[in-house]
A and B are shown apart, each in its own frame.
Chain A
Amino acid sequence: QVQLQESGPGLVKPSETLSLSCTVSGGTISSYYWSWIRQPPGKGLEWIGYIYYSGSTNYNPSLKSRVTISVDTSKNQFSLKLSSVTAADTAVYYCARENTALALDYWGQGTLVTVSS
């Protein structure tokens, strides 16, 4: 059974960079697309972007200038960096796998990141 687990600081200061990792267990990170999604309090789900195991990426244009997603196949892990954060970036961040049918079939439980000084 594939499992995903997000990790990283729960509190980030304004203007700094939010950094999260997602560790994949029970399966290989190879041959799939790996996504980040977030949900601000009281708002809907927002797709941030994905990375293919080979390293190719696709980002939401609304965040593209601030987002970097990377992959480390040796650690079965992929990561999110979001720069110049503001309070509007406070959200529960999820990592997920996009299956061959392009739906998100495995998700992490989510991690709350608060942007505050």
Chain B
Amino acid sequence: DIQMTQSPSTLSASVGDRVTITCRASQSIGTWLAWYQRKPGKAPKLLIYQASTLESGVPSRFSGSGSGTEFTLTISSLQPDDFATYYCQQYNNYPRTFGQGTKVEIK
């Protein structure tokens, strides 16, 4: 299985901050990577797919980059609605695998 490692596990930030989350794959996955946002009691939400393509309806402050084994999710200016847990997922191989999550907390 491809291991996905996210860092940091927890991130404390303030509204307006630029936030970057990193996801590393244990082997090359090309750009077969997605990012999701999850809030308690709500359905996870697809933010980015194909490493850098913004899902329809997702604010442009979210962006993704990377290829191969290293990827980043950036929130250019953190908004109150963005405090949540973020997950990366590879879909280059089966079984699909996820990072362990990054919780973005209010500083």
Contact = CB atoms under 8 A, between A and B. Distances in A.
Interface of A: 4, 35, 44-47, 58, 60-62, 94, 96, 99, 101-110
Contacts of B100: 44
Contacts of B53: 101
Question: DSSP majority for the B interface?
Answer: loop
Given A101-B49, A102-B32, A103-B91, A108 B96 contact: no
B44 interface: yes
Given A46-B98, A47-B97, A103-B91, 9 more contacts: A35-B96, A44-B98, A47-B95, A47-B96, A58-B94, A99-B49, A102-B32, A105-B49, A108-B43
B49 A45 contact: no
B38 to A, nearest CB: 9
5 contacts: A99-B49, A103-B49, A103-B50, A105-B49, A107-B43
Given A101-B53, A102-B91, A103-B34, A109 B42 contact: yes
Given A103-B46, A105-B46, A44 B101 contact: yes
